[in-house]
A = this chain, B = another copy of it.
């Protein structure tokens, strides 16, 4: 139909195991003429790796390459300024396809609405174009499943925090939480461990990296080399067992 715009589809592809995508994401993915994905410079992109076996040659790939690999920038422009420009430009590229009537499936590691780059496209485009967001299995629940440890019982609260926070803030947020997940570890792993030690929660904390992927590793937090952790890693502090 002339004049009809395409749909913006934010598709969660899950934590990494290609079998952990939903039937709905698979249906939208196979039908999309354009598949957009984020990737770091020189990287393939985790979301693309997860779903590429489901694509065929007729589908156009739209690569959205991050301008930076770290938040530590030198030069006159701030990290935020650089990223605003990047997401503005990425949204424009996606919008070009939408304007010509093509659906664009933006694939997202984990879930689209939880710490994902898709959110920055959504905030720029969802009010202007029709679309749909398909939730996905998020990394923290994949971690709990792989560790075989229930995360939150009954009326317990769960705190999801970024390891990039300063130690005092991390401690304040973790102190009151009956269960916790700490994302974005990287070079913050030692700090996270020290905070949990100080709170006397380190013994219950579990570490997992590359959950559901072939390179998956998991162990008690206290057994981990604290110097660094890869991007795809997290610490889980499960809630206290109930009814056993």
Contacts and interface: CB of A to CB of B under 8 A. Distances in A.
Contacts of A87: 243
B162 A159 contact: no
Nearest to A123: B244
Contacts of A83: 243
B134 A122 contact: no
A20 to B, nearest CB: 5
B111 A141 contact: yes
B155 A244 contact: no
A154 B115 contact: yes
Interface in A5-53: 10, 12, 14-15, 17-24, 26-27
A151 B243 contact: no
Given A150-B123, A157-B160, A176-B173, A114 B144 contact: yes
A152 interface: yes
Contacts of A111: 137, 141, 144-145
Interface string A106-119: 00000111111001
A124 interface: yes
Contacts of A144: 111, 113-114, 133, 135
A165 interface: yes
Given A114-B141, A165-B155, A14 B19 contact: no
A154 B21 CA distance: 24
Contacts of A27: 19
Interface in A122-152: 122-124, 126, 133-138, 141-142, 144-146, 148-152
The 10 closest A-B pairs by CB, nearest first: A119-B150, A113-B144, A19-B24, A133-B145, A158-B160, A155-B162, A135-B145, A135-B141, A157-B161, A111-B141
Interface of A: 10, 12, 14-15, 17-24, 26-27, 80, 83-84, 87, 111-116, 119-120, 122-124, 126, 133-138, 141-142, 144-146, 148-162, 164-165, 172-173, 176-177, 184, 241-244
